[in-house]
Amino acid sequence: MSNDFYTTLGVPKSASQEEIKKAYRKLAHQHHPDKQHGDENKFKEINEAYQVLSDPNKRSQYDQFG
């Protein structure tokens, strides 16, 4: 995906783990496929971004290599 994970979650690169989790929960709830106007593709994108940014090792690699 061409989107930047930080942009996907709407957080700055300096965001704390708590800020990332809060942004993820809000967006996941908003775009959940089971909701009336849910968007499965957007939901998957949000999940992928969270999987990387919520893991300190993966986040470090992502920040270094993209």
pLDDT tens for residues 36-60?
Answer: 889 999 999 999 999 999 999 999 9
Judged against a pLDDT cut of 70, whether residue 2 lies above it is answered with no
Would you say the pTM of this structure is higher than 0.85?
yes
The set of residues, in sequence order, having a beta carbon less than 8 Å from that of 45 and lying 6+ positions away, is 1, 3, 8
What would you report as the CA-atom Rg of the chain, rounded to the nearest whole angstrom? Answer: 12
